[in-house]
């Protein structure tokens, strides 16, 4: 049995989308159980319409719902201890749930997750990992926006977290890991990135293959299973790729409707276009995973529809099932057992 | 008459591509004149085959050709004063040419350009500007990789440089300018970016409209005419977008050849696909422009074919024709006349 706590109020559509999504998950994963947190007046009527979901769920009323535009500090001030978001996270901390899913606002969810769950031992900062569709399949990219900037040790930590996730999710024994950089010329590259590369090479961990530096165009190629970068560049890469995909879809739509011949061609190739749309469908890879905390939290896109939110829930389910936290802990222990003891501060300043 | 100096040896294909490209430009721009620098034994035979080009060109033999894999320091050591790349840049410095084009390696070209031309007064660092196709047309993105990191003053300088280029190239009187950032939440954003935003808002320059922060997906939308960021993020955004475009083209090819119906549809919609290919054709926007130097240098993609290299040459031509350097100088003077005098170091540390 996998126990999943749900912030029913998160996202642009709230319980009207989140709860029907859970029914889809319940049908596909019979061993999933749900702890649902939300406002009685909004969530309960939806749940009452879905008896098959109610059978595998516990509902807890929470007065407060964090708003999509609350700043993290506001959300903490108004929503700590009592909001549906907080309660869903707390269920993981208290061992009542194995994983928490919310489509609520990212800043608030990260602030509450850090405050409530705390980071794992040996991890200074959590990261947000995205699943990125590539020509070869899927890769993991992190950090896509938990924090701005990262020193060498934090980048190494991200590599360990990402490799454990790739191992759990893609079932790859030694995932390949690359550090995102801007080229191989001597003047290029951030010092932290170069230092992290040296550290990963020296550590020679059995749980990953350190590939070296990769550039922006390597992400879509699927050159490595895990792409590591700090949150500013990672977020810009993610958003830029989303923007480019939308832009090309727009070009394609315009090209296919411009002439009669093109419209006829479109009719013949309808199935092919459908297949392309599915390939480019963000719902299939919906969900930013918070890594490095003492518990797993998955952030769904706020605008996700039922299938999109269900994908985020199933992502959380899979990671519990495949033992993400234990795998992460094992690699961290391996790394720290091997690392020579350095004077305080020496590593991150190196 | 526009005088263009050419490093004929640059790029993956050297004179076999660069010189025939110039003939295309000569046919389309009758007032263009070329100063061609290259090895006698490699470039001269090609030039002899193109008498219409030879008529509007001067050829100068240079013993040394900078290699595509030379490190910048190597290139400077071996190629300064005597390579075709150096000589082409020097022609701009000496006032013999209005603009220099090279498809040689970026690091070497930037190192030599800085060393030979020096930065404009009030500009600490040059930037590389890319022309980015968007849903609405084209935008300018800078810096896409001249240097790693930038303080607030340098970001403001990039905004001024980029706005002058948009004014010259797109003929927009007050281009809109955005600072690339990761969101609007309080915990988000680099300090330098926030400070640059304050400085641009206060300066209220007549030569641009400061729009505020933009995110990665705003680039492809064409939200602003000029997107400003430091070189690490800018390079990652550019490469990631290129990778995503190639990835989707790959999906599309696979989808269109998978079934008979799709292949029939493709035949009907051939013109539409051709149009899409043209939209996505990087050759149309080939050329990274070095801004902030006392002279204009355009870097063509090393793998550019004849039409691609010709596009880079014509980009340089257009910027001379529209008075890029004078426009840049005018905005810089406006900015510095208005800026309150601050104690040394106060601005960049603010």
Q: What CATH number is given to the structural domain containing B76?
A: 3.40.718.10
Q: In the 3-class helix/strand/coil scheme, how is A274-297 assigned residue by residue?
A: HHHHHHCCHHHHCCEEEECECCEE
Residue A20: pLDDT band (50, 70, 90) is very high
CB contact under 8 A, A188 and B268: no
Same domain, B150 and B196: yes
Residue B273 lies in a domain: yes
Tallying the residues shown for chain B, one arrives at: 350
Q: Name the domain boundary from A92, A117, A142.
A: A117
Same domain, B106 and B131: no
DSSP assignments along A194-235, one per residue:
HHHHHHHHHH--TT-EEEEEE-HHHHHHT-SSEEE--HHHHH
Same domain, B98 and B164: no
Reply yes or no on whether the pLDDT at A24 is more than 70.
yes
| Stretch among A278-292, B116-130, B144-158 having the lowest mean pLDDT | A278-292
Closest Cα of chain B to A83: distance in Å?
Answer: 20
- Nearest CA among A139, A87, A76, A74 for reference residue A285: A139
Same domain, A178 and A228: yes
For A99, the domain range is: 2-117
Q: Do strands A226-228 and A138-142 pair parallel, antiparallel, or not at all (unpaired)?
A: parallel
Q: Could you tell me which residues are beta bridge partners of residue A131?
A: A140
Q: What is the dihedral of CA B228, B233, B235, B237, to 10 degrees?
A: -90
Q: What is the pLDDT of residue A253?
A: 82
Of chain A, the percentage scoring pLDDT greater than 70 comes to 93
The two structure tokens encoding residue B261: 């119906």
Of chain B, the percentage scoring pLDDT greater than 90 comes to 72
Same domain, B63 and B25: yes
CB contact under 8 A, B269 and A267: no
Pick the residue of A112, A144, A236 with the most B CBs within 10 A to test the interface with B by mutation: A236
Q: What is the pLDDT of residue A188?
A: 56
Same domain, B66 and B203: no
Same domain, A24 and A93: yes
Residue A15 lies in a domain: yes
Same domain, A113 and A173: no
Q: Contact B333/B164 with Cβ under 8 angstroms?
A: no
Same domain, B23 and B139: no
Residue A161 lies in a domain: yes
Residue B65 lies in a domain: yes
Residue B322 lies in a domain: no
- Per DSSP (E only), the strands in chain B are 2-7, 32-38, 57-61, 99-102, 127-133, 138-142, 176-180, 209-214, 226-228, 288-291, 296-299
Q: Name the domain boundary from A69, A97, A117.
A: A117
Give me the number of domains chain A comprises. Answer: 2
- Nearest CA among A222, A237, A213, A221 for reference residue A175: A222
CB contact under 8 A, A275 and B255: yes
Residue B286 lies in a domain: no
Average pLDDT over residues B128-148: 92
Cα separation, B70 vs B237, in Å, equals 25
Q: What is the pLDDT of residue B188?
A: 55
Same domain, B110 and B138: no
B281 burial type by CB count under 10 A (0-12 exposed, 13-18 middle, 19+ buried):
middle
Reply yes or no on whether the pLDDT at B180 is more than 50.
yes
Q: Would the CA dihedral through A325, A88, A281, B226 be positive or negative?
A: negative
The two structure tokens encoding residue B85: 């790349």
Cα separation, B151 vs B224, in Å, equals 22
Average pLDDT over residues B222-247: 93
Set of chain A residues whose Cβ sits within 8 Å of the Cβ of B138: none
Pick the residue of B66, B71, B112, B236 with the most A CBs within 10 A to test the interface with A by mutation: B236
Residue A321 lies in a domain: no
Task: Note the Cα A212 to chain centre separation in Å.
Answer: 23
Task: Scan residues 245-274 of A and list those with Cβ closer than 8 Å to B.
Answer: 245-248, 250-252, 255-256, 258-259, 261-262, 264-273
Q: Contact A302/A105 with Cβ under 8 angstroms?
A: yes
Same domain, A259 and A336: yes
Residue A274: pLDDT band (50, 70, 90) is confident
Residue B312 lies in a domain: no
Comparing CB atoms, the residue among A215, A247, A258 nearest residue B239 is: A215
Q: Name the domain boundary from B117, B139, B161.
A: B117
Reply yes or no on whether the pLDDT at B314 is more than 80.
yes
Reply yes or no on whether the pLDDT at A340 is more than 70.
no
Cα separation, B84 vs B97, in Å, equals 14
Same domain, B113 and B134: no
Axis-axis angle for helices A84-93, A72-79 (nearest 10): 80
Residue B284: pLDDT band (50, 70, 90) is low
């Amino acid at each position: 049995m996998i126990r999943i706590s749900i912030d029913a109020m998160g996202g642009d559509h709230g319980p009207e989308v989140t709860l029907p999504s859970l029914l889809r998950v319940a049908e596909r994963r019979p061993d999933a159980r749900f702890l649902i947190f939300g406002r009685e007046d909004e969530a309960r009527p939806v749940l009452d319409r879905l008896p098959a979901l109610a059978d595998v769920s516990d509902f807890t009323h929470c007065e407060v719902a964090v708003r999509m535009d609350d700043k993290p500090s506001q959300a903490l001030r108004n929503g700590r201890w009592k909001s549906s978001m907080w309660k869903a996270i707390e269920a993981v901390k208290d061992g009542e749930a194995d994983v928490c899913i919310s489509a609520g606002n990212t800043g608030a969810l990260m602030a509450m997750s850090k405050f409530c769950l705390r980071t794992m031992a040996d991890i200074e900062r959590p990261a947000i990992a995205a699943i990125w569709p590539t020509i070869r399949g899927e890769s993991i990219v992190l950090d896509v926006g938990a924090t701005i900037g990262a020193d060498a040790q934090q980048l190494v930590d991200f590599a360990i977290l990402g490799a454990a996730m790739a191992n759990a999710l893609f079932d790859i024994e030694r995932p390949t890991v690359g550090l995102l950089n801007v080229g191989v010329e001597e003047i290029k590259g951030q010092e932290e990135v170069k230092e992290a590369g040296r550290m990963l090479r020296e550590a020679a961990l059995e749980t990953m293959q350190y590939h070296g530096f990769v550039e922006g165009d390597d992400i879509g190629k699927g050159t490595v299973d895990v792409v590591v970068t700090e949150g500013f560049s990672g977020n810009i890469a993610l958003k830029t790729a989303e923007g480019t995909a939308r832009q090309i879809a727009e070009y394609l739509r315009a090209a296919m409707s411009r002439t009669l011949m093109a419209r006829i061609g479109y009719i013949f190739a309808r199935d092919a276009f459908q297949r392309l749309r599915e390939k480019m469908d963000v719902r299939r890879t919906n969900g930013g995973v918070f890594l490095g905390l003492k518990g797993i939290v998955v952030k769904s896109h706020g605008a996700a529809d039922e299938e999109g939110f269900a994908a985020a829930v199933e992502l959380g389910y899979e990671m519990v099932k495949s033992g993400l936290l234990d795998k992460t802990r094992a690699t961290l222990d391996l790394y720290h057992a091997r690392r020579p003891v350095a004077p305080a501060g020496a590593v991150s300043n190196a």
